[in-house]
Amino acid sequence: MCDISLLPQITITEFCNCFHTILKFSCVYCCVISEGKPLKDEDVLQLLPVGTTATFYFRDLGAQISWGTVFLSECIGPLVIYLMFYFRVPFIYAPKYDFKTSKHWVVHLACLCHSFHYVKRILETLFVHRFSHGTMPLRNIFKNCSYYWFFAAWMAYYINHPLYTPPYYGEQQVKTALGIFLFCQLGSFSIHVTLRNLKPPGSKIKKIPYPTKNPFTWIFALVSCPNYTYEVRLKDSLLSAERDSPVF
């Protein structure tokens, strides 16, 4: 509950929280009837462009889940799924291959690269990313995770398959692809740090990113979301190193 005497000075978030228990909503937002647009969480009641009285509408947003939890689910799933194929747990390949890893060194390298990528993303989620929105609908976690989990399983199945054969161009192809992979990992990390620095802690300020002195950020002059550019290229390099043509 809230102190009625303080109502003019409280924010919309605090105002909605006053009614959260009473209305028993999972997640609430309110809006002024005159405009019908959701108010910002940081808006103060007495500063709203309304008269002495105003009507607020409350809406139940349903079950919510934090963006951080969604990101962690997207990353932990592929990490575990890939390792299941790498160690060839039962019921994936023929029984005679259970818990027998590949004899090809490039398969072990692929596992290291794949694991490194998702461990890096988990650490970035915990210590680098700053989320503008606190939550998202719970049902969206299945949609968001399905791509990452399915793609990891599809790729891991072929790379760790007992009949897998190394790349056609051999060690040179693997080294070239590995160099691109590491380059893109550095690029992705640089972009995430740059985007993080655009948002002060605890704020929802949105700024347009621009290239910095870091060469990996110069790609901002060409694309608006270069973190995804690096992401696509590093996955291409991993698949190229393994000659994983079915996944392509």
pTM of the model: 0.83
Report the alpha-carbon distance of residue 181 to residue 184 in Å, rounded. 5
**174 and 88 within one domain:** yes
Contacts with 45 (C-beta within 8 Å, 6 or more apart), sequence order = 7, 8, 9, 10, 11, 12, 15
Last residue of a domain, which of 47, 62, 77? 62
Q: Is the pLDDT of residue 191 over 90?
A: yes
Q: Is a pLDDT exceeding 80 seen at residue 216?
A: yes
Residue 29 and residue 76 in one domain = no
Mean pLDDT of 163-184: 90
* Lowest-confidence region among 99-108, 132-141, 220-229: 132-141
Give the pLDDT confidence score for residue 4 in this predicted structure.
47
Distance CA(172)–CA(242), nearest Å, equals: 12
pLDDT digits (tens, 9 = 90+) for 17-47: 776 666 665 565 556 555 666 777 778 877 7
In this predicted structure, what is the pLDDT of residue 134?
74
The predicted-structure confidence for 95-127, as pLDDT tens digits, reads as follows 999 999 899 999 999 999 999 999 999 999 999
Same-domain status, 129 and 166? yes
Return all residues near 100 (Cβ < 8 A) that are at least 6 apart: 88
Domain count, the chain: 2
Domain that holds residue 216: 65-242
User: What was the pLDDT predicted at 33?
Assistant: 52
* Whether 37 contacts 1, CB under 8 Å: no
Contact 174, 241 (CB under 8 A): yes
Tokens 């691109």: give the residue.
180
Task: For 51, list phi and psi in degrees, rounded to 5.
Answer: -80, -155
The two tokens of residue 70 are 């969604």
Residue 81 falls inside a structural domain:
yes
Domain boundary among 19, 38, 62: 62
pLDDT confidence of residue 25: 59
**What does the pLDDT look like over 39-84, one tens digit per residue?**
777 788 777 777 667 777 777 777 888 889 999 999 999 999 999 9
The amino acid at 114? H
User: Is 247 among the domain residues?
Assistant: no
| Cβ neighbours of residue 81 closer than 8 Å, sequence gap 6 or more | 149, 152, 153, 156
Inform me whether the pLDDT recorded for 244 exceeds 70. Answer: no
d(CA 235, CA 109): 14
- Nearest-CA neighbor of 71 among 113, 133, 25, 116? 133
**Tell me, what CATH number does 23's domain have?**
3.10.20.90
> Residue 190, Cβ neighbours under 10 Å: how many?
20
